[in-house]
Structure 1
Amino acid sequence: MSSIGSQVRKATVSIDPIVTDYAVGYLNHLSSTTLDAVQSKSLDLPLEIDFITKLLINAGSSPDKVESLAKSILDQLSTQLKENQAKLELTGDTSKRLLDINILQSHNSKENINTTLNMLGVGGGADDIEHAGRKMETRVDLKKLAKAEQKIAKKVAKRNNKFVQYEASKLINQSNEEDYDSFFMKINPLEFGSAAGKSKDIKIDTFDLYVGDGQRILSDAQLTLSFGHRYGLVGQNGIGKSTLLRALSRRELNVPKHVSILHVEQELRGDETKALQSVLDADVWRKQLLSEETKINERLKEMDKLRAEFDENSLEVKKLDNEREDLDNHLIQISEKLADMESDKAEARAASILYGLGFSTEAQQKATNTFSGGWRMRLSLARALFCQPDLLLLDEPSNMLDVPSIAYLAEYLKTYPATVLTVSHDRAFLNEVATDIIYQHNERLDYYRGQDFDSFYTTKEERRKTAQREYENQMAYRKHLQEFIDKYRYNAAKSQEAQSRIKKLEKLPVLEPPEEEKTISFKFPDCEKLSPPIIQLQDVSFGYDPESLLLKDVNLDVQMDSRIALVGANGCGKTTLLKVMMEELRPTKGFVSRNGRLRIGYFTQHHVDSLDLTKSAVDWMSTAYPGKNDEEYRRHLGSFGITGSLGLQRMQLLSGGQKSRVAFAALCLNNPHILVLDEPSNHLDTSGLDALEDSLKNFSGGVLMVSHDISIIDSVCNEIWVSENGTCKKFPGTIYDYRDYILSSADASGVVKKH
């Protein structure tokens, strides 16, 4: 069978190689179908060969050559089938395979031949292959098909000298609703045998990437990921970073098959499974191996009983012995795999990861459907860390975590033994974790090897300035050459020199002007001064149940010049404290004193989520905060980077960062004296974070911020409040001192303790 590929290619030199590759793959798969399928006549071998024959002839091959080829291959397959049937009668081994009914389909009509040709890009039509009125699974190599279609798209675009939307095969874009286990095994098939010596570096040369609506986000890009490195993928909102991660996670890009992949993209669906068991179940390889080990052991016990019923020299005993030998060998392979993945230590490792991400010992035994969306997102992260794939893909992992959990995650990833690719705008997190930065912009990927985020930011600006100088120098040189050419081209005495300059001009490399950095700015409106006390908490305690207080004996104050960061583990009472300060909750003990003229601007993610996305920002603000004309609303939105037509288009078309800016603009309409901000940095890209930092530092009122972003806290705040152990106190140091305090609380197993 090893010569089938060469036989097919020799007989089909005149046709599209895509069709040839399809035919070779189809015929090679004939060698893996069960004998039972052939014997039960659910698969007709001559009919399958006839389908390939007609397919190749319809694609333009010589009928004589193809028919001769078909006869030769049918003879080979028939011979092999007879040999395997003979082995079956002797050994009783039903695992012997020749043809796979799930892989192949009968195609005998002209319509189905044309459908297949269209699918391969030779014609134009549907991608589905049908058999007897029902859709069957295709076994076309999707990665090869995708690559071929990318080449076609590129050729079309080049021929027309413009971008054309090329509709990729529906086969590639089809969405199958699969459960986690099925998807995991599809993306990461379990292979026995040693992978030693196989490089786990990833190098994908020259690919284009499109989003669903046909918009190209990468052109002629190259992706190189060295095993063991930790890459931060950065770029502006909407540039396509998450799309790139998704393409990698689904192997739509050519990642080596022996490299396992896991993507933390969305929160876990809740059910009755306990949190700890959910993390253990995430390692589908371990789960499958343990299940298979149990089944084999049960079968071995059953065989011992059966063996006693037969004569020692009977054919039945020989069959049982053959089966036992196969099962014993497979059991050894399973044991080796389980030992390699340290299966016996799995539960302790899962519990350690959960504890580090904020799950107490009690919480680990709760059903996953009892957790909120944010906590289920943490469960997804815990499952991925537990699986320890060769390529771990993280999309904004710090958005749902508090400072202690981010500290734990950063420390965990710094010793991660494989490759990490994370999308993040958290600069402190990237400075801690990243060994390299990949900058996605202008449909390409730029590499900053051996650099954390701060180094990247500095180097990027230096590169931009250098490119700007080179561009300006070349433009000046081009202008100088062109002026000489225009002046002396038709001058007999100078024409030779003019021709020389024309050649020089033609040989100059074409430089593109450097990409302009999009900058935005925020401006919180100035407010009048108030006399103290602005907000003062004296011996404040609060609890929904007097026997179980959430806050106890809190003594803090906020002034007009305050820059305060409120930090602590999720669930320790930070939001409750904010509500008590704003008099949404009344303390069970103590007093909250506030200036009677005080106006507070309160920002939470809830305010972003509550925007009416069917309206424009201007229309929504005029309804929610009436009293101004449209021009005044547009001018106010413009002070938060929502400029031009952005304020007039439906908000469902805005990015997450742009929606956050609309919410910031809304909270400032009453000219607040104090800004109370709950996770204000979520969804903002680098330029948005820079704008937020500058505006908060220049704000004339006070700032109280709950945030996990260490960089923005360090830049803006000069006072740290720590919520822990049922109270809230000032911390004697910076946010980095607090981070060190958190890490110093780690126990011997490396788990960050929750205070």
Structure 2
Amino acid sequence: MIRFNQFSLSRGVKPLFEATSFALNPGEKAGLVGANGAGKSTLFAVLRGELHADAGDVSLPPTWRIAHVAQDTPAAQKSALEYTLDGDADLREVEARIAAAERAHDGEALAHEHAAFADADGYTAPARAEALLLGLGFTLAQTRESVASFSGGWRMRLNLAQALMCRSDLLLLDEPTNHLDLDAIVWLEDWLHRYPGTLIVISHDREFLDSVCNVTLHLENRRVTRYGGNYSQFEILRAQQLALQQSAYEKQQKTVAHLQSFIDRFKAKATKARQAQSRMKALEKMELIAPAHVASPFTFEFREPDAAPNPMLVMEDVRCGYRGDGGDGGDIDIPILEGVTLSIQNGQRIGLLGANGQGKSTLVKTLAGTLEPLAGSMHQGRGLVIGYFAQHQLETLRPDDSPLAHLARIAPDAREQVLRDFLGGFNFSGDMASAPIAPFSGGEKARLALALIIWQKPNLLLLDEPTNHLDLETRHALTMALAQFEGTLILVSHDRHLLRASTDQFMLVAHHRVEPFDGDLDDYRDWLLEHAAQARSAARAAHAEAGDAVDGLTAGAANRKDQRRQEAQVRQKLAQLKKPLQTRIARIEKEMETLNTQKAALDAFVADAASYEPAMKARLTETLRQQADVQSRLETLEAQWLEAQEELEQIG
């Protein structure tokens, strides 16, 4: 059992926990939730033994093995499979003893260690490690590639695989879904359902928490409160507590009234009936969970569009992809999607499904006009105003400008007070509205990017992973705002709660095609698990057949030579397209490594109690400023890396 008894802990002069007590039983799976900065990661450091209580005590069984996801991955030359196997420390120790016995020619010790190897399931370990990697999105060929050949996001997946490989009693996962697509998230959920140990997970993905957890630990006001049940059940229990304070959620009645008005006006109108039904569902959810979010930092809503063309946009036999210099004076086309024919109607709310690299972002970029079609035609409705949000847009924000300056640039004729009132709805009020955005967090910059889009009153909203960097409270505000949006929505997200609450139809992007998906997200989950199992079986069969074929081939050497030459030419052209992106990714990763080193030194200084002596005031102030600057730069670089990596995957 894990037990915290009257536990208190401060970092510097900031108290994070004060006399809090809670317990977890063996085998329970707990979601750790709370506002950013409340101390969730600090609690993990306490469980790992890296930090110790200022008062009270923490106890857990001394024999327990603890697994967690490492934040750094060495650029090792060992294969991804061998790196994953390193997670089973007991197995590696047995292997080392076997090697020592072989060197010493000690037959008795060798027999003993081979028995220990069998007891450690050593003969099945490579297959288990391979299954972990395939489930997390690696191909069979990639499991044999060196760790150094993978980029940052894929190395984080390797770290996750290594943690899952560890035969642990306690598994600590901090935002495990951040670098995963929906396919890998579904697989991870299935794996965690079967995990026999105790699990504590930090996540902003409420559907992931609902699926995996049976206990919720809520960190608020320097205390941890235990709730039985998953995240949705926690919301209900907390809502029931807060509902006793009627005045606390009166601010949400205005939103409820707005939704109800739409339902009353359009419920009987055939062309709007489906949207009315969607808002009825949103209203039911809002009335149930609203009190749990009375402390939300802000709420916002979309402005009503000026026009509603129908159809909004038509694509006819469009080929979506990238065009680059082939290196021989001509261009080379890299098609991602073929034969896309769509007619986007006013009021549609479409969710795009599909694995990373299949072309969801490519389709959205083509719809937004930031990527020209390679073939086919596109026609926009008269009066179409597109609002496009993607992570790379955070790069276009000017770090030395304030939110007010950003908004004034696109609304030069609006009065300053009108702009300030609008920004206040996104929690940019007072001095924050006129302060440079350089030290803002990734979530705050994402909110500002959304605000700039919303000001322009779009009637077609294209959102590509809008919840990255957003905490649960901000995701809730976005979900409620999208439920009231009067225009057309196309959404890419691995946040299934947002997809369920904001869309009413799905399209599947897979195998270079875009097709309607007949089903809901539960059907898609079943489809993913079924096809993932089939794909893994097919990959193994193809791998085995290829090996047999190589052994038995004796004819057709000339044809194979010609085929290899053609394949080499294609690889060369692809390499030329990839090289600028790979160079950019390497530069970003090198800069992130430097900044992480700086951040570690700054964090250590801030955590030192001596830094808060009066004589250190000036240095502490400067260190805090540098700390905010470094954190902001790291978040910006992460967004740039994600964008470059996605382009690289699509080309490859």
TM, length-normalised to structure 2: 0.68
2:199 paired with 1:400: no
Aligned position for 2:357: 571
Residue among 591, 596, 603 paired with 2:377: 591
- Please state whether the residue corresponding to 1:393 is helix, strand or coil: strand
Aligned position for 2:237: 459
Aligned position for 2:39: 240
Residues 670-709 of structure 1 correspond to what in structure 2 (within 5 A)? 670-709=456-495
Aligned position for 2:429: 643
2:3 paired with 1:203: yes
Residue among 95, 102, 109 paired with 1:297: 102
Work out whether residues 228 and 420 of structure 1, in 8 Å CA contact, stay in contact via their aligned partners in 2: yes
- Please state whether the residue corresponding to 2:178 is helix, strand or coil: helix
Rounded to whole Å, the distance in 1 between the matches of 2:146 and 2:181 is 22
Is the alpha carbon distance of 1:464 and 1:292 closer, same or farther for their aligned partners in structure 2, counting shifts above 3 Å? same
Is the alpha carbon distance of 1:346 and 1:524 closer, same or farther for their aligned partners in structure 2, counting shifts above 3 Å? same
Q: Identical aligned pairs, as a percentage?
A: 33
Rounded to whole Å, the distance in 1 between the matches of 2:135 and 2:78 is 20
> 1:463 is aligned with what amino acid?
Q
Deviations, residues 352-397 of structure 1 (Å, cap 9, x unaligned): 1111111111222333333333222222211111124221111122
> 1:231 is aligned with what amino acid?
A
Is the alpha carbon distance of 1:347 and 1:687 closer, same or farther for their aligned partners in structure 2, counting shifts above 3 Å? same
Work out whether residues 299 and 425 of structure 2, in 8 Å CA contact, stay in contact via their aligned partners in 1: yes
Rounded to whole Å, the distance in 2 between the matches of 1:609 and 1:753 is 39
Aligned position for 1:79: none
- 1:218 deviates by 1.1
- Please state whether the residue corresponding to 1:239 is helix, strand or coil: coil
Work out whether residues 368 and 388 of structure 2, in 8 Å CA contact, stay in contact via their aligned partners in 1: no
Residue among 371, 374, 382 paired with 2:150: 371
Residues 267-278 of structure 1 correspond to what in structure 2 (within 5 A)? 268-278=73-83
Is the alpha carbon distance of 1:631 and 1:262 closer, same or farther for their aligned partners in structure 2, counting shifts above 3 Å? farther
Is the alpha carbon distance of 1:335 and 1:735 closer, same or farther for their aligned partners in structure 2, counting shifts above 3 Å? same
Rounded to whole Å, the distance in 1 between the matches of 2:8 and 2:240 is 28
- 1:434 deviates by 0.4
Deviations, residues 172-231 of structure 1 (Å, cap 9, x unaligned): xxxxxxxxxxxxxxxxxxxxxxxxxxxxx22232221233x4311111122422221111
Aligned position for 2:227: 448
> 1:408 is aligned with what amino acid?
W
Aligned position for 1:218: 17
Aligned position for 1:10: none
> 2:316 is aligned with what amino acid?
Q
Deviations, residues 135-165 of structure 1 (Å, cap 9, x unaligned): xxxxxxxxxxxxxxxxxxxxxxxxxxxxxxx
Work out whether residues 293 and 473 of structure 2, in 8 Å CA contact, stay in contact via their aligned partners in 1: no
- 1:654 deviates by 4.0
> 1:636 is aligned with what amino acid?
F
Work out whether residues 90 and 120 of structure 2, in 8 Å CA contact, stay in contact via their aligned partners in 1: no
Rounded to whole Å, the distance in 1 between the matches of 2:175 and 2:29 is 14
Work out whether residues 408 and 752 of structure 1, in 8 Å CA contact, stay in contact via their aligned partners in 2: no
> 2:128 is aligned with what amino acid?
R
2:303 paired with 1:525: yes
Is the alpha carbon distance of 1:683 and 1:529 closer, same or farther for their aligned partners in structure 2, counting shifts above 3 Å? same
Residues 320-331 of structure 1 correspond to what in structure 2 (within 5 A)? none
2:192 paired with 1:413: yes
Structure 2 gaps, min length 5: 53-57, 248-291, 324-331, 541-652
> 1:708 is aligned with what amino acid?
H
2:512 paired with 1:726: yes
Residues 136-285 of structure 1 correspond to what in structure 2 (within 5 A)? 201-211=1-11, 213-253=12-52, 254=58, 255-264=60-69, 266=71, 268-285=73-90
Rounded to whole Å, the distance in 2 between the matches of 1:610 and 1:269 is 32
Deviations, residues 237-276 of structure 1 (Å, cap 9, x unaligned): 2222122223323443544442222222536344433322
Aligned position for 1:661: 447
Rounded to whole Å, the distance in 1 between the matches of 2:221 and 2:313 is 48
Work out whether residues 337 and 513 of structure 2, in 8 Å CA contact, stay in contact via their aligned partners in 1: yes
Work out whether residues 720 and 731 of structure 1, in 8 Å CA contact, stay in contact via their aligned partners in 2: yes
Deviations, residues 381-426 of structure 1 (Å, cap 9, x unaligned): 1111112422111112222222111111111100101111101121
- 1:516 deviates by 6.4
Residues 351-500 of structure 1 correspond to what in structure 2 (within 5 A)? 351-449=130-228, 451-465=229-243
Rounded to whole Å, the distance in 2 between the matches of 1:202 and 1:705 is 41
Work out whether residues 745 and 752 of structure 1, in 8 Å CA contact, stay in contact via their aligned partners in 2: no
Rounded to whole Å, the distance in 2 between the matches of 1:749 and 1:671 is 44
> 1:240 is aligned with what amino acid?
G
- 1:574 deviates by 1.0
> 1:517 is aligned with what amino acid?
A
- Please state whether the residue corresponding to 1:671 is helix, strand or coil: coil
Rounded to whole Å, the distance in 2 between the matches of 1:608 and 1:751 is 41
Q: Which has the higher contact order (CA 8 A, sep 6+)?
A: 2
Residues 42-191 of structure 1 correspond to what in structure 2 (within 5 A)? none
2:495 paired with 1:717: no
Aligned position for 1:128: none
- 1:572 deviates by 0.7
> 1:565 is aligned with what amino acid?
G
- Please state whether the residue corresponding to 1:397 is helix, strand or coil: coil
Residues matched between the structures, number: 482
Work out whether residues 551 and 726 of structure 1, in 8 Å CA contact, stay in contact via their aligned partners in 2: yes
Rounded to whole Å, the distance in 1 between the matches of 2:245 and 2:537 is 46
Is the alpha carbon distance of 1:728 and 1:257 closer, same or farther for their aligned partners in structure 2, counting shifts above 3 Å? same
Aligned position for 2:128: 349
Residue among 84, 88, 91 paired with 1:286: 91
Rounded to whole Å, the distance in 1 between the matches of 2:494 and 2:539 is 17
Deviations, residues 494-549 of structure 1 (Å, cap 9, x unaligned): xxxxxxxxxxxxxxxxxxxx996235212222211232332222122234487864
Q: If each structure's helix is expressed as a fraction of its own residues, which one has the higher value?
A: 2
Structure 1 gaps, min length 5: 1-200, 302-323, 470-513
Work out whether residues 541 and 590 of structure 1, in 8 Å CA contact, stay in contact via their aligned partners in 2: yes
Rounded to whole Å, the distance in 1 between the matches of 2:351 and 2:538 is 21
Work out whether residues 8 and 17 of structure 2, in 8 Å CA contact, stay in contact via their aligned partners in 1: yes
Is the alpha carbon distance of 1:594 and 1:406 closer, same or farther for their aligned partners in structure 2, counting shifts above 3 Å? same
Rounded to whole Å, the distance in 1 between the matches of 2:406 and 2:100 is 61
Is the alpha carbon distance of 1:338 and 1:651 closer, same or farther for their aligned partners in structure 2, counting shifts above 3 Å? farther
Is the alpha carbon distance of 1:516 and 1:543 closer, same or farther for their aligned partners in structure 2, counting shifts above 3 Å? closer
Rounded to whole Å, the distance in 2 between the matches of 1:220 and 1:204 is 9
2:348 paired with 1:562: yes
TM, length-normalised to structure 1: 0.59
- 1:745 deviates by 3.0
- 1:602 deviates by 1.5
Deviations, residues 627-656 of structure 1 (Å, cap 9, x unaligned): 656434322222223334443445455444
- 1:659 deviates by 2.7
